[in-house]
Amino acid sequence: MSDTSTYHPSLDDPNVFVLYRYHPTRAGAIIFIVAFFLTTALHGYQIVSHRTWYFLPLLVGGIFEIIGYVGRVLSSYDQWALGPYIMQSLLLLVAPALFAASVYMILGRIILLVGGEELALVPRRWLTKVFVMGDVLSFCLQGAGGGIQAIGTLSSLNTGEKIIIVGLFVQIVFFGFFIVVAGSFHLRFTRHNQRKQIMTPTFTATTTTMTTIPWKKHLYALYIASALVMIRSIFRVVEYLMGNNGYLLRHEHFLYVFDATLMFGVMVLFNVVHPSEVTTVYKDNNRYSVPLEAREMMVSTMTRRDSGCSGRSCRSLV
């Protein structure tokens, strides 16, 4: 129980730094604790069952979201307690950086899947490294800013705020460049194939069939997830730039609309369009290292063989 004899400034006083400019709602936090728990638990099952261990950052991000909203529940009992405030502020701040790391890893696997390494703006061997390093830098800056704020003094709160803003700008810059790289690859790959659907054989124990590579579906999922994370990051930058007494920090519903809902949307999106399809459709067939031209030639050869033609009679098929 908080000490009622302790002096607390007015929530509307623009000349002081207060933890919350409103009374934190308990119901909203509980709703998102349940929501994030359900989608995070499903991601845990999907990661284990499909062995998509590279998607663990998203799972950890989901756990951060859950704990963060637990912090907001605790703050609803005592909004002047520094511990719960730092818990929710720091974890809700850095969780999307972990979501971004997972998004970065998916693009490299899509490029591998279709054998389009030569069409990527950034070489595939550097693709994940560059963006994950940028994400780690952003994560560390935001974490450091939150850690400095945990000291609890007015100067530390202001200094931490500035470092967090730098971390958020780093995240936006790298994420913006990532969207450009993804869009550029999409455009180049589509032009290269002249809008034709890419086909490749899938081998089973008894039969050989043809299946469509689902690269477009997963690339569109990346676009949606990227847009959600970008909107949330811009919101956070504006929130911090407006200051402790800014309009966004004085109204709690903005946090739930532009952060909680958007990040929940990212997690649900990848529950539905799970990247395991990208890494398992052809993993057993060792197709990742097949260049695009060799893949097209292989498909053409199989089409001729299955059509029962040979020599000049098959020229019309290529």
Instruction: Choose the most confident range, by mean pLDDT, from 17-21, 42-46, 139-143, 176-180.
Output: 42-46
CATH T-level topology, domain 26-305: Rhopdopsin 7-helix transmembrane proteins (1.20.1070)
Q: Please report, to the nearest 10 degrees, the dihedral formed by the alpha carbons of residues 142, 143, 146, 151 taken in order.
A: -140
- pLDDT recorded at residue 301: 44
Phi and psi dihedrals of 127, rounded to 5? -55, -60
- Give the sign of the dihedral formed by CA 209, CA 215, CA 221, CA 225: positive
Residues 6 or more apart whose CB falls under 8 angstroms from that of 257 comprise none
- pLDDT recorded at residue 4: 44
- Mean pLDDT, range 23-52, rounded to an integer: 96
Residue 308 has pLDDT above 90, yes or no: no
List, for residues 61-100, the tens digit of each pLDDT value: 999 999 999 999 999 999 888 889 989 999 999 999 999 9
- pLDDT recorded at residue 67: 97
Domain coordinates of the chain in residue numbers?
26-305
List, for residues 219-242, the tens digit of each pLDDT value: 999 999 999 999 999 999 999 898
Residues 6 or more apart whose CB falls under 8 angstroms from that of 50 comprise 274, 276, 279, 280
Phi and psi dihedrals of 315, rounded to 5? -60, -30
- Mean pLDDT, range 101-115, rounded to an integer: 84
Separation between Cα atoms, residue 136 and residue 141, nearest integer Å: 9
Q: Which two tokens stand for residue 18?
A: 């207060």
- Mean pLDDT, range 191-219, rounded to an integer: 56
Instruction: Choose the most confident range, by mean pLDDT, from 6-15, 22-31, 300-309.
Output: 22-31
**pTM assigned to the model:** 0.79
Residue 284 has pLDDT above 80, yes or no: no
- pLDDT recorded at residue 34: 98
CA atoms within 13 A on the CB side of 165: 14
pLDDT band of 255, cuts 50, 70, 90: very high
Q: What angle do helix axes 82-114 and 124-149 make, rounded to 10 degrees?
A: 180
Residue 299 has pLDDT above 60, yes or no: no
- pLDDT recorded at residue 58: 95
